[in-house]
């Protein structure tokens, strides 16, 4: 059994129907189909002895218990393929009924390495970040601003109601916009709650809703050295830079280029590329951030494969010596521990200074390959 999750419109259904074309296909989005599945789950599943792709599985997660019995009775692999776009509902179903019985994978929007395979794909950094990675935009050459406006509105009006009992969608929309303004910053529930006019607990709940809907990812703090006074708050990152730009009301590349949050937007884009590099290889990413109370900050610390890699992210097109200093300081602090430092920046030329490689934004895929192959 395979369970594939990810945000809406990330290509889950297209991918699964291509790979598992011999399976029957059923979407649980349809009300009558969903009613049948819920009212007579055994009869519903009995139709698909030869295998089935159950799309939008989060709409009827109670099927998981019945699938457990079927798989336990006949463990032949590959018969059931589940997809869903609500992480919370899927995770609960898997942990309660399907743990050890299904491979759990995540499909995020296109990485830049995938995006550039499309005809007419943007080649300019700012156009890439403005468009984001949703396949439909690239495939149909759609205006990203218009498509992403409709996408975020649909998410607010539909998925939020399914994920949580959010009574005031306007307040939640305001909260989401405020969260966008804090991408690549440490999570501060009290501050964002106060700015949005909601309680600390509501802010915590609403961030969980954004995470369950695959709009955001929280990068935990790395605190391997307990002797240091360090931050233990996670860093907030949006999954898709196009959605982030839309929520920040950025409508063109000139506005993006001159935006006061361009550094944060670029950092978020690179973090998303690293996540995709691991997830596309079937790995569970172990990405962290590091900040000491006295100033040293490292944007990403990656321990996915056990080895330590520290990555600094700079949106500037020109490298300066100060970009390398935090990595040099961390390298001194970890001492005998093997550590691979790296910089990803907004320029066009690969360089190495002070023994630290710097990779241009367009070659971020090579950084992902180094990480996943190390």
| Per-residue pLDDT tens over the stretch 295-310 | 899 999 998 877 889 9
Name the domain boundary from 44, 71, 106: 106
The one-character DSSP state at 234 is: P
pLDDT level of residue 372 (50, 70, 90 thresholds) = very low
Same domain, 222 and 340: yes
Q: Which domain covers residue 307, as residue numbers?
A: 112-373
pLDDT level of residue 169 (50, 70, 90 thresholds) = confident
pLDDT level of residue 12 (50, 70, 90 thresholds) = very high
Same domain, 197 and 334: yes
Would the pLDDT of 374 be above 60?
A: no
Same domain, 258 and 315: yes
Q: Where are the alpha helices (DSSP H) in 122-212?
A: 125-131, 135-140, 144-154, 160-163, 169-180, 189-196, 200-212
Name the domain boundary from 70, 90, 106: 106
Same domain, 238 and 98: no
Average per-residue pLDDT for the chain: 89
Name the domain boundary from 106, 128, 150: 106
Same domain, 76 and 131: no
Distance in angstroms (rounded) separating the CA atoms of residues 325 and 295: 12
Same domain, 92 and 127: no
Same domain, 208 and 345: yes
Would the pLDDT of 153 be above 70?
A: yes
**Which tokens in the block code for residue 252?**
């063109």
pLDDT digits (tens, 9 = 90+) for 73-85: 887 888 999 998 8
Same domain, 152 and 43: no
pLDDT value, residue 102: 84
**Which tokens in the block code for residue 106?**
């995540």
pLDDT digits (tens, 9 = 90+) for 115-143: 999 999 999 999 999 999 999 999 999 99
Tokens 């939640």 belong to 172
CATH of the domain at 43: 3.40.50.300
Same domain, 299 and 327: yes
Would the pLDDT of 290 be above 80?
A: yes
pLDDT digits (tens, 9 = 90+) for 220-265: 999 765 455 577 899 999 999 999 999 999 999 999 999 999 999 9
Phi, psi for residue 240 in degrees, rounded to 5 = -120, 125
Domain count, the chain: 2
pLDDT digits (tens, 9 = 90+) for 101-121: 888 889 999 999 999 999 999
Same domain, 58 and 198: no
């Amino acid at each position: 059994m395979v369970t594939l999750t990810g945000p809406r419109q990330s290509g889950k259904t297209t991918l699964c129907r291509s790979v598992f074309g011999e399976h029957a296909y059923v979407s649980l989005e349809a009300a009558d189909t969903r009613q049948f599945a819920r009212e007579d789950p055994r009869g519903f599943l009995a139709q698909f002895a030869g295998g089935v792709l159950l799309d939008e599985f989060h709409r009827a997660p109670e099927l998981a218990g019945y699938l457990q019995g079927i798989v336990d009775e006949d463990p032949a692999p590959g018969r059931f393929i589940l997809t869903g776009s609500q992480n919370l509902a899927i995770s609960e179903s898997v942990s309660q009924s399907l743990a050890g019985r299904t491979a759990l994978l995540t499909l995020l929007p296109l990485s830049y390495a995938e995006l550039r395979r499309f005809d007419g794909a943007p080649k300019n950094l700012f156009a890439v970040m403005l468009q984001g990675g949703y396949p439909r935009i690239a495939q149909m050459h759609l205006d990203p601003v218009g498509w992403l406006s409709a996408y975020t509105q649909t998410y607010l009006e539909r998925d939020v109601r399914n994920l949580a009992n959010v009574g005031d969608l306007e307040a939640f929309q305001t909260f989401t916009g405020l969260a966008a303004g804090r991408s690549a910053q440490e999570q501060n529930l009290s501050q964002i709650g106060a700015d949005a006019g909601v309680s600390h607990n509501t802010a915590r709940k609403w961030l969980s809703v954004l995470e369950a809907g695959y709009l955001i990812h929280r990068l935990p703090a790395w605190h391997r050295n307990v002797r240091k006074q360090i931050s233990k708050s996670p860093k907030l990152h949006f999954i898709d830079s196009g959605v982030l730009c839309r929520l920040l009301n950025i409508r063109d590349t000139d506005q993006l280029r001159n935006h006061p949050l361009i550094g944060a937007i670029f950092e978020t884009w690179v973090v998303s590329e690293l996540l995709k590099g691991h997830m596309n290889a079937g790995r569970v990413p172990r990405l962290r951030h590091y900040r000491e109370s006295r100033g040293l900050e490292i944007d990403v610390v990656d321990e996915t494969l056990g080895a330590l890699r520290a990555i600094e992210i700079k949106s500037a097109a020109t490298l300066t010596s100060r970009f390398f200093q935090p990595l040099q300081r961390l390298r001194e602090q970890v001492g005998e521990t093997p550590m691979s430092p790296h910089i990803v920046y907004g320029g066009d030329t690969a360089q190495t200074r002070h023994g630290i490689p710097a990779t241009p934004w367009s070659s971020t895929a090579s950084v992902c390959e180094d990480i996943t192959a190390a």
